[in-house]
Amino acid sequence: MASNGIYVSTAPAAPPSVPSVPRTLTAAQPATAPPAGLFDATTSAVAGVASVCGLLAAVGAAARHGIGRRRQSSRVQLRGASRAPFKEPVNFRAKPGDKYTYRCPQDFNTPEFGHWPPEAPDRVVKYGQVHFKGNPTGETEFYAKKAGKKQMDKDRLTGNSNDSRGALLLDCDGTIVETERDGHRVAFNQAFKELGYDCEWEVGLYGELLTTGGGKERMTRYFTDYNPDAWPHEEPPAKDNPKIMELHELKTKLFMEIVRSGQLPLREGIEDLITDAFANGWKVGVCSTSNEQAVRAVVETLLPEFAPEIPIFAGDIVSKKKPDPEIYNLAAKEMGVAPMTCVVIEDASIGCSAAKAAGMQVIVTKSIYTEDEDFEGADEIVSSAAEIDFEEDVVAMLPTLQMS
């Protein structure tokens, strides 16, 4: 307030006014555009990558197609009009029993219906090319087996099955061939003579020694119980004695020479019996106490067509020999059959006892040295295998399922 009583405002003075600038609307400026050359390079790179990928995909598809065709092709090529009947799709190769159903058009080099050779009788091949594949063999047989299988399945369900398949096990010496008197005995005597032993086994004496299974065991018994003076060595005779083993090795070599010379024929009816067994789907094996090489020589020489399919259990493959059942137990295990489904053909009482102890059925075919033996427990006794009917005598021995 001034002195003269007049109030005067003391508020601060306003700042000087600034002239206003008129507002103007401005449009958003666009981003700076890249150079035209950079855009063209990027587009070309993308297109190049796409074309390369497409090319790789096409090459891969062509390669896969070519591999597939090579896998389906055969070394023998069809030509001319013969290609027309084989336009059906290629099926997988099935087992021989189903070959007729799933037959592969390019399957030129494998057997039809499990039979070799694969060619049909009227097949025509010239210069490595199939002009006519021929008619597949075995169609009638295939349908017959197929019908038989249906009947077998039906019989199993109803308990009326007559289709029994087992194993036929044969002894060798005296059963397959009469080797004892004119084979093994002769070889033993030749071995004694060549190695300087003063002894010879007569026909009657060898018959007594046959009650002991195994050649080394037989010689041990002879030099111990029958003729100790003929043993010139200090160490007592035993089956693992080096001198006994030397004798047996030479005897085996001489015996194999006798067998391969053709001097020992098959016993009557043996070949027919084995043929019937294989024809009915049975397994066949040989169980012997003789040396394995000697038994194999007999089978390969006298039964050459069956030799590859017949397993041999012989010699020292077991620790205990007949009449112990170990050899027959081993055969049943290795062949995958139950002892109760095995039928044994034997000629000696020790073999009969071994087979019965293993729980098997036994048919005895008497031989020269075993005519008067006691075959206790044998299921059937005949003079030779020619008297055996496979269906009535062998198959009939197997146990069958009976429905109550």
Share of the chain above pLDDT 70, in %: 63
For residue range 254-284, list pLDDT tens digits in order: 998 998 888 888 999 999 999 999 999 999 9
Q: In 3D, which of 302, 309, 210 has the Cα closest to residue 264?
A: 302
Cα separation values, 180 from 147, 217, 221, 316, 346, Å: 47, 15, 17, 19, 14
The dihedral through the CA atoms of 283, 287, 292, 295 has a sign that is negative
Share of the chain above pLDDT 90, in %: 46
Rounded distance, CA 359 to CA 221, Å? 29
Quote the pLDDT of residue 230: 93
Query: Does residue 173 have an active-site annotation?
Result: yes
Q: Residue 315: pLDDT above 70? A: yes
Q: Residue 7: pLDDT above 90? A: no
Rounded distance, CA 296 to CA 275, Å? 18
Question: Of 17-26, 61-70, 124-133, 323-332, where does the model show the most confidence?
Answer: 323-332
* Region of poorest pLDDT, from 151-155, 169-173, 314-318, 396-400: 151-155
Quote the pLDDT of residue 294: 87
Question: Of 6-10, 16-20, 134-138, where does the model show the most confidence?
Answer: 134-138
Mean pLDDT to the nearest integer, 346-354: 94
Q: Residue 72: pLDDT above 60? A: no
- With cut-offs at 50, 70 and 90, classify the pLDDT of residue 237: very high
Quote the pLDDT of residue 107: 45
Check 171, 225, 229, 316 and give the catalytic one: 171
Q: Residue 344: pLDDT above 80? A: yes
Q: In 3D, which of 60, 86, 58, 57 has the Cα closest to residue 73?
A: 86
Quote the pLDDT of residue 316: 83
- State the greatest distance between any 2 C-alpha atoms of the chain, in Å, as a whole number: 181
- With cut-offs at 50, 70 and 90, classify the pLDDT of residue 85: very low
- Contact between residue 237 and residue 231 where contact means Cβ atoms under 8 Å apart: yes
Instruction: Look up the pTM and report it.
Output: 0.56
Q: In 3D, which of 179, 264, 249 has the Cα closest to residue 219?
A: 249
Check 40, 98, 153, 173 and give the catalytic one: 173
Q: What is the mean pLDDT of the chain?
A: 77
Mean pLDDT to the nearest integer, 357-374: 93
Q: In 3D, which of 352, 213, 356 has the Cα closest to residue 290?
A: 213
Rounded distance, CA 245 to CA 220, Å? 10
| Strand-pair partners of 124 | 132
Cross-sheet strand order for the sheet of 77-78: 77-78, 129-132, 124-126
Using DSSP's 3-state secondary structure scheme, residue 275 falls into helix
Quote the pLDDT of residue 205: 93
